[in-house]
Amino acid sequence: MSLALQTFSSVKDANAALQAAGTRYLGGGTLVVRAANEGDVSVSRLVRVTDPGLSQIAVSGGKIRLGASVTMAAIARHPELAALAPAARAVGGPAIRNMATVGGNLFAPAPYGDFAVALLALDATVVTEDGELPIETFLAGRDTSRAVVTAVSLSMPKTESFRFLKISRVKPKGISVLSIAALMQRTADGTVTSARIALGCMADRPMRAKAAERALLGCKLTPEEIAPALAAAGEGISPITDPIASAWYRAEVLPVHLGRLLLA
């Protein structure tokens, strides 16, 4: 294995260097160095950016802006990001959370990328030098994306409207069987007026459960009323099979865990 690391002070220079074949961006290292250690010879050069702006968290006027180099640990301990903390804490163990970044999580293949599942439910915007993309569009095109992600921005969710659940077989830290994030607006009597549900491990990257979202509209969160949404949860999914769980198992337990999240 041989790797060469190039360090730049600006994203612009890093973007130019990233055009070369075999070059990947180095964030926290938990994905690309791992790939290189595993013998992935497609990675020969790494590029990183030391601009401190990439590590900044800004919260103002109900908006959150997370620099791409912000770590999961920084989110988990930030006093104003309590709503995102459960999703940030779901990633790895303490050492991984000190390294793994927001930007990297957007590229993490299933079963990783639990934080990106939360960002998808929250309809985050992904920022690069080329412009801004809705996260759903970004995730769909991430395999061919060549521009360094500089930040993610999103609206601060109300604590009661955002829910996140990660299921793993080992506690307190384990790889996802699946993860679910749900952003729901409800009227005073509890009727769902909007729902955005994102699933992890149900495809090679985070995806939305659009059929379940539609089925929840106009429902109250009771076992009877959410039943159609649970029945629709599996529509369009293509779960991964790995040593943690088979695709069959993941599909079977998805409605169970979605039900628990909705009724919690």
Partner 1 sequence: MAKVPVQFTLNGSEKAEFIESGTTLLHALRDKIGDMSPKGACHQGTCGACSVIIDGELRLSCLTLAETCNGAAIRTTAGLAEGGVLHPLQRAFLDAFATQCGFCTPGMIMAAKVLLDRTPNPSREAVVEALSGNICRCTGYEPIIQAVLTAARANSQNAA
Residues that bind partner 1 (CB under 8 A): 1-5, 7, 26, 28-30, 33-34, 36-38, 46, 48, 73, 92-96, 98-99, 172-173
Quick check: 214 and 84 in contact, CB under 8 A? no
Are β-strands 4-8 and 45-49 bridged in parallel, bridged antiparallel, or unpaired? parallel
Our CB check for partner 1 shows the closer of 89 and 208 to be 89
Gap between the Cα atoms of 148 and 129, Å rounded: 7
Our CB check for partner 1 shows the closer of 141 and 243 to be 243
The token pair at 238 is 């293509």
Our CB check for partner 1 shows the closer of 174 and 228 to be 174
Q: What is the smallest separation between the CB atom of 106 and partner 1, expressed in angstroms?
A: 18
Q: What is the smallest separation between the CB atom of 73 and partner 1, expressed in angstroms?
A: 7
Q: What is the smallest separation between the CB atom of 98 and partner 1, expressed in angstroms?
A: 5
Angle at 208 (CA atoms; ends 206, 214), nearest 5 degrees: 170
Residue 25, SS3? strand
Residue 88, SS3? helix
Quick check: 218 and 191 in contact, CB under 8 A? yes
Q: What is the smallest separation between the CB atom of 217 and partner 1, expressed in angstroms?
A: 38
Our CB check for partner 1 shows the closer of 124 and 177 to be 177
Task: Select from 135, 150, 142, 33 the least CA-distant residue to 103.
Answer: 150
Our CB check for partner 1 shows the closer of 91 and 178 to be 91
Q: What is the smallest separation between the CB atom of 215 and partner 1, expressed in angstroms?
A: 36
